[in-house]
A and B are shown apart, each in its own frame.
Chain A
Amino acid sequence: MKIAVCVKQVVTREWPLRVDEARTWVEDRDASFEMNEPDAYALEEALRLREQHGGEVVVCSAGPARAAQVVREALARGADRAIRVEGGGLAAADAAMVAEALAAAMRDEQFELVLTGLQSDDQGFAQTGVVLAELLGIPHATIIMEVQVADGRLRVKRELEGGWFQWVSMPTPALLTIQSGINQLRYATLKGIMAAKRKEVRVVEAAADLVPRQEILEIRVPEKTKQTHMIAGSPSEAAAELVKVLREEARVI
């Protein structure tokens, strides 16, 4: 099976984020970056499908030059080769624009299965995969927690609200957006890291005529609406005060 996995590079969760000077993006010049979490699960699922059914796993990522880091990491974890779409404006681009950039580079490959994460940790559109499916003209399903492949068809378990699920089947080629927790992740081995250096990475310039369909006017910290009683002091002072208010004010212990 020829499988594509789309991975996005995002700022590490631990990074203390601040809004940038223009107030339209975050200050990420010195930030450290990582693979968007659900994308790591999508990659793992692709590797498992390759182990069961053979074929190859191609990692696809769009972004500025620094995104080469997550591509390397995906190759080290076991992907066979990569397509990297480079464009400085892609870091803060809307989902339609990113999907167009990816589709242009992926279309000729005729992938049988395309996996993406269900949502990015930074922009959180939950859209790039869905729009990509439309641009590639293939069916899709979202928030997937299990993938079965048989006779050129997929049967996938889709997560619904409040603990409900539903099985959906469809022909390949198709696109699935993968939910975190679908499998247990493996990490790169030293051998994997060495092997990654020899794997093919095709770098494609993003088309110059991509048009944004959304514009970020301003980013800010949300206004506080609730009166939170913040308890200050050393850990033991704060703990003593907390126990006191929970007993005497809230009366919940």
Chain B
Amino acid sequence: MVLVIAEQRDGVLNNASWEALVAAQQLDEPVRVAVAGAGDGLAAVGAELAAADVESILTVDHPELESYTPDGFVAAFAAVVTDTAPDRVFLAHTYQTREFAPRLAARVGRSLIADCVGVRPRDGRLAFVRPMFQGKFVADVAAAGPAPHFASFQIGAFRPDALERGAAPAPVTAFPVTLEPGAIRQQIEVPFQEAKQAVDLTQAERIVAVGRGIKGREHLGLVESLATALGAEVAASRPICDSGWLPMDRQIGSSGQTVAPKLYLALGISGAIQHLVGMKGSRTIVAVNKDADAPIFEVADYGIVGDLFDVVPAIIAALDA
């Protein structure tokens, strides 16, 4: 049996949970789903999940689970895993599961194969395909040791619309848990956003984005000249903003802005997944990188393998011509 741990907040199911469910369904093993929370919101999510063709939905309802904490979720799901004894436990690779799932696996003496983009049979075993070295390689990884084996799946690796729906809603059962007083050591405050972004890159028609290939802040003028010539906004990968070379509100990616301009020109950006999720919806993507194997070429429509310090001045000159 595959146990899928779904994620919800305030009665809203995280869409990525459907993808983890699709990953489980394609294995041809019975599937059960567990989801934690409290009260009506959780009940609504349970009913929503019941549309899937699965054996059952377990709702783990406890006032202390209304808001996510790592201690609370590890304790609750460890009880579910111990009680239901699945062969595998699947989750979506979200910021939340990144935080608690490795500890959950460790609590029951197992390990998690994280951030997988696929799963397939290989020599009688199940191989989980996951990126390594920042997307430059992928690896087939198999679990060693006894079940349950835990795996998490990168968002977008499976299509939520490939979900198999049941003829009738799956049964929803409550899974009671007890949490020792003091078991939850983290105290959380309400999530917030930093002050409104000064620059709204989502409205830009053209974006010239720069990555660590630029080497030093003193070279940013080159990028700005190209942006001016193209009528484009300047944006950057995270390390450029981390170093303080450009303000944070010019960062593109999972922890920055998500953009979809007509033209996205990536200069000296390797194309790590956290960057790609912020820009891969752009209409035309151009990449300039000196490494022909850089993952950015995987999403680019046009690519130039070369040194940006040679190529960028040449593009500026060609635009002038």
B297, B300, B315 — which one has the most chain A CB atoms within 10 A of its CB? B315
Chain A residues with Cβ below 8 Å from B189 are: 166-169
Chain B neighbourhood of A245, CB < 8 A: 302
Question: Would A228 and B206 count as touching, CB distance under 8 A?
Answer: no
Please report whether the interface of chain A is mostly helix, strand, loop or mixed according to DSSP.
mixed
Q: Tell me the nearest residue of chain B to A122, going by C-beta.
A: B133
Q: Specify which of B102, B185, B255, B257 is in contact with A139 (CB 8 Å cutoff).
A: B185
Q: Is the CB of B206 within 8 A of A214?
A: no
Selected interface stretch from B45-53, B79-87, B239-247: B239-247
What is the bound-complex CA distance between A253 and B100, given in angstroms?
46
Contacts of B190 in A (CB 8 A): 166
Stretch in B32-40, B137-145, B165-173 with 4+ CB within 8 Å of A: B137-145
Quick one: CB contact mask for A115-144 with B, threshold 8 Å, 1 for yes?
A: 000000111111100110111000111110
In chain B, residues 292-311, which have Cβ atoms closer than 8 Å to a Cβ of chain A? 293, 295, 297-307, 310-311
A134: which of B107, B191, B193 is its contact (CB, 8 Å)? Answer: B107
A80 at the binding interface (Cβ < 8 Å):
no
Q: With contacts A221-B293, A236-B317 known, is A253 near B206, CB below 8 A?
A: yes
Give B42-66 interface residues, CB cut-off 8 Å to A.
none
Interface residues of A in 172-189 (CB under 8 A from B): 174, 179-181, 184
Contacting residues, chain A, for B319 (C-beta < 8 A): 243, 253
> Given the complex of chains A and B, what is the CA–CA distance between A229 and B283 in angstroms?
14
Contact A239 B99 (CB under 8 A): no
B132 to chain A, nearest CB (A): 6
A164 to B256 Cα, complex, angstroms = 10
Cα of A121 to Cα of B135 in the assembled complex, Å: 10
Interface residue from A19, A164, A168 paired with B192 (Cβ < 8 Å): A164
Given contacts A122-B133, A213-B143, contact A220 B99 (CB under 8 A): no
A164 to B299, CA, bound (A): 27
Which one of B123, B145, B318 has the highest number of Cβ atoms from chain A below 10 Å of its Cβ?
A: B318
A131-B103, A181-B241, A235-B310 known; A217 vs B191 contact (CB < 8 Å): no
In the complex, what's the smallest C-beta–C-beta distance from A145 to chain B, in angstroms?
9
Given contact pairs A17-B137, A134-B103, A139-B185, A94 touches B191 in the complex (Cβ within 8 A): no
Restricting to B169-194, which residues have a CB under 8 Å from any CB of A? 185-194
Query: Contacts A95-B102, A162-B254 hold; do A213 and B111 have CB atoms under 8 A apart?
Result: yes
Please name the residue on chain B nearest to A123 by beta carbon: B132
Asked if residues A169 and B141 are in contact (CB atoms below 8 Å), the reply is: no
Question: B314, A238: Cβ atoms under 8 Å?
Answer: yes
B198 within 8 A of A: no
Residues facing B in A211-236 (CB within 8 A) are: 211-222, 224-226, 228-231, 235-236
Given A124-B134, A239-B314, A240-B318, CB of A228 within 8 Å of CB of B303: yes
Q: Is A87 an interface residue when CB atoms closer than 8 A count as contact? A: no
* B139–A170 touching, CB < 8 Å: no
Return chain A residues, CB-CB under 8 Å to B157: none
Flag whether A252 is at the interface (Cβ < 8 A): yes
| B114 located at the interface, meaning its Cβ lies under 8 Å from any Cβ of chain A in the complex | yes
The docked-state distance in angstroms from the alpha carbon of A19 to that of B138 is 11
Within 8 A of A (CB), among B89-115: 94-95, 98-100, 102-103, 105-107, 110-115
Q: In the docked arrangement, what's the CA distance between A133 and B103, Å?
A: 8
Residues of chain A in range 44-77 having any CB-CB distance to chain B below 8 Å: none
Q: Is the CB of B310 within 8 A of A222?
A: no
Measured CB to CB, the closest approach of chain B to A9, in angstroms, equals 14
Q: Does A108 contact B (CB under 8 A)?
A: no
* CB <8 Å contact, A125 and B185: no
The answer to whether A211 and B302 have CB atoms under 8 Å apart is no
**Residues on the A chain within 8 Å of B140, using CB:** 216-218
Inter-chain CA distance A93–B84, complex, in Å, is: 29
Please, how many angstroms separate the alpha-carbon atoms of A161 and B99 in the complex? Answer: 13
Within the assembled complex, what's the spacing in Å between the Cα atoms of A210 and B206?
52
Contact partner of A252 (CB less than 8 A), chosen from B135, B284, B298, B315, is: B284
CB distance from B123 to the nearest CB of A (A): 8
- With contact pairs A96-B111, A143-B95 given, residues A130 and B102 touching in the complex (Cβ less than 8 Å): yes
Per-residue 0/1 for B241-268: is the Cβ within 8 Å of any A Cβ (1 yes, 0 no)?
1111000000000111110001100000
Determine whether the beta carbon of B185 is less than 8 Å from that of A171.
yes
Q: How far, in whole Å, are A211 and B191 apart by their CA atoms in the complex?
A: 39
A163→B133 contact, CB < 8 A: no
- Structural contact, B298 and A225, CB atoms closer than 8 A: yes
Across the interface, which residues of A come within 8 angstroms of B219, CB to CB? none
Known: A222-B135, A252-B263. A139 touches B70 (CB 8 A): yes
Most buried by A among B122, B188, B190, B297: B188
B139 CB contacts on chain A under 8 angstroms: 216-220
Residue of A161, A215, A252 with most partner-chain B CB within 10 A: A252
A-B CB contact pairs (8 Å), 18 listed: A13-B212, A95-B111, A99-B106, A127-B114, A134-B102, A141-B186, A142-B98, A143-B99, A164-B193, A168-B189, A217-B125, A219-B132, A222-B137, A229-B303, A235-B306, A240-B321, A243-B318, A253-B206
8 closest cross-chain pairs (CB), A and B: A181-B242, A239-B314, A213-B111, A127-B102, A139-B185, A252-B263, A235-B310, A130-B102
